Amino acid sequence: MDSNRIVMEEFQVTEDAKKKGGSTKGKKAKEKKGDESGSSGTSVKIIHMDPVNMEIDFIGFPISLINAYRRIVLAEVATMAIEKVYMYNNTSIIQDEVLAHRLGLVPLKVDPRYFEFRNKDETEWGAQDSVKYELKIKCEKNPRASEHETDCDVISLNRKVLSSSLKWVPIGNQPDIFQPESMQPLHDDILLAKMNPGHLIHLEAYAVKGIGSDHAKFQPGLCWYRFLPEIELTREVEGLEAELLQKCFSPGVINIVDKPDGKKVAEVSDARNDTCSRNVFEYDDIKDSVKLTRKTDHVILYVESHSALKSFEILDEAVNIMIGKCDTLLTEIENHIEGSAA
Amino acid sequence: MPVGADGFRLPNVNEREAKNKLEWLTGPGQDEYCRTFIINDEDHTLGNALKHVLMQNPDVSYCGYTVPHPMERKIHVRIQSEKREALSILCDALKDLKSQNEAVRKMIKDEVQKYREIYPEAGTRDQS
């Protein structure tokens, strides 16, 4: 398979001269198709994975597909977030609407895959589409604090309202399906409001399922990608120049090795970690020694979760949504063909 | 980002009107072989990926997509061919895209499985 590269020069980015020549569309397109339909040529490799972060390599895939996944993660993978707040009493200094907005941004542990999207005209809060929370908290003087105490956090009890004081209130048959631990906010130390003695907050909040293009609070996490960088040394770089070259790149990219004849020579150890800053072009005496390229058919995709879904579940959901899109259109076309045949 | 009828939020899956997902333009420049399809409720996410797949088809002499207006949630996909009907080309492209995605899904699943065998603790969230 021919590898596609772009070359990062001092003032421009160009296609690699090695592979240039002739038409780019017609003939190439056919070759490429052969590659894609077979399982050769394309591969996926997980570099790092944990529930929060994931780094995964897509080799040989069209960039439009990777970008589609990225867009779906940001805009279309559903999560649960607080959408409606009924404020019964709020005598704290934080305004109702500000507090409601802050509540909306709190990530919840609730797994969205157990829930349905809520109907727009719905007036009831159903067990299948909503999660109820209650927050009832009062700030009082701490009777045990000494008279000379000056620290507000000690003088008053419940001075800080944290996300842990949001209490899940089951609706309908929810207690049979869910455990209280799996319905709480994802982090229990998110500061929602600060109060003084005598202040009171009492509210009810309802969480629903939603998608990121509606509101960013529904985003399951972050997703971004970059092409694999490659660095090629075109001549030997030694001594002080080698040290300078090492400083031009991210840590760990360039190594300096001792040669048997006593020379200290620069060597590329791991170009993957490079940020592609092109700092090397600042120095006229070493800028001719490197060729910076990026492989356009090797994409490093990062997924970072800040919701109930784990990083790899987010990616899996994104692919499923893409398949769903194709499916809806395919059934629509089938229906049309059947309709016109009848 | 696209907005819903109330000016704020997008209609979710339950709220979609009984509007056809796929329509096409009529008039001059539109026939069986050369057609502009309208895909409702889609954007660059599907448009660009679909265009890429359509370009791979040697029967397609021209194809492209556009978002006619950023506030209307729809895309126009133009397909021109000299050999086959545009609708069947679109159908093939969608099937192709779907099978590509299914392949990716399987690859990711296998890789996650493999990774978990090496690092069994990777799937658990160490949070209190």
**If you measure CA to CA, which chain B residue comes closest to A181?**
B128
Check A118 against B12: CB less than 8 A apart. yes
CA distance B53 to chain A (A): 9
Which one of A72, A189, A319, A338 makes the best mutation probe of the B interface by having the most chain B beta carbons within 10 Å? A319
What pLDDT is attached to residue B16? 54
- Number of CB atoms found within 10 A of residue A142's CB: 16
- Give residue B46's domain range: 13-123
Q: Per-residue confidence at B125, pLDDT binned at 50, 70, 90? A: low
Q: Does domain A79-218 have CATH number 2.170.120.12?
A: yes
Which residues on neighbouring strands pair with residue B22, listed in sequence order?
Answer: B39
Q: Look at chain B and report how many structural domains it folds into.
A: 1
Instruction: Retrieve residue A181's tokens.
Output: 């631990």
| Between B82 and A341, the higher pLDDT residue | B82
Strand, coil or helix: B50:
helix
Using CB atoms, which residue from A43, A52, A325 is nearest to B46?
Answer: A325
The C-alpha atoms of residue A277 and residue A267 are separated, in whole angstroms, by: 18
Do the domain assignments include residue B6?
no
Do the domain assignments include residue B35?
yes
Do the domain assignments include residue B8?
no
Using CB atoms, which residue from A43, A62, A117 is nearest to B13?
Answer: A117
pLDDT digits (tens, 9 = 90+) for A125-160: 999 999 999 999 999 999 988 888 888 889 999 999
What pLDDT is attached to residue A3? 65
Residues of A in contact with B106 (CB under 8 A): none
- Chains A and B form CB pairs within 8 A to the count of 139
Check A56 against B111: CB less than 8 A apart. yes
Q: Per-residue confidence at B58, pLDDT binned at 50, 70, 90? A: very high
Using CB atoms, which residue from A39, A76, A120 is nearest to B15?
Answer: A120
What pLDDT is attached to residue A147? 86
Q: What secondary structure does DSSP assign to A185-228, as a single string? A: BS-S--EEEE--TT-EEEEEEEEEEE-TTT-GGG--EEEEEEEE
- Record: fold of A5-76+222-302: Gyrase A; domain 2 (3.30.1360)
What pLDDT is attached to residue A146? 87
pLDDT < 70 regions, chain A: 1-3, 17-40, 342
Q: Model-level pTM?
A: 0.87
Using CB atoms, which residue from A312, A323, A337 is nearest to B112?
Answer: A312
Residues of A in contact with B39 (CB under 8 A): 329
Check A332 against B15: CB less than 8 A apart. no
Residues of A in contact with B45 (CB under 8 A): 67-68, 71-72, 75-76, 322, 325
CA distance B48 to chain A (A): 6
Residues of A in contact with B5 (CB under 8 A): none
Check A330 against B56: CB less than 8 A apart. no
**Do β-strands A79-90 and A53-59 pair in parallel, antiparallel, or remain unpaired?**
unpaired
Using CB atoms, which residue from A36, A43, A211 is nearest to B100?
Answer: A36
Do the domain assignments include residue B72?
yes
Do the domain assignments include residue B3?
no
What pLDDT is attached to residue A25? 44
Q: Per-residue confidence at B6, pLDDT binned at 50, 70, 90? A: low
Strand, coil or helix: B70:
coil
Q: Tell me: pLDDT of B15 over 70.
A: no
CA distance A68 to chain B (A): 5
Do the domain assignments include residue B55?
yes
CA distance B78 to chain A (A): 16
The C-alpha atoms of residue A161 and residue A181 are separated, in whole angstroms, by: 19
The single residue listed with the structure tokens 């086959």 is B84
What are the residue ranges spanned by the domains of chain A? 5-76+222-302, 79-218
What pLDDT is attached to residue A31? 43
Query: Of B82, B85, B44, B91, whose CA–CA distance to B64 is shortest?
Result: B44
Q: Which helix (H) or strand (E) holds A81?
A: strand A79-90
Q: Output the domain CATH number for residue B108.
A: 3.30.1360.10
What pLDDT is attached to residue A27? 42
What pLDDT is attached to residue A208? 94
Q: Tell me: pLDDT of B71 over 90.
A: no
What pLDDT is attached to residue A32? 43
CA distance B125 to chain A (A): 6
Q: Tell me: pLDDT of B60 over 80.
A: yes
Which one of B89, B90, B97, B114 makes the best mutation probe of the A interface by having the most chain A beta carbons within 10 Å? B97
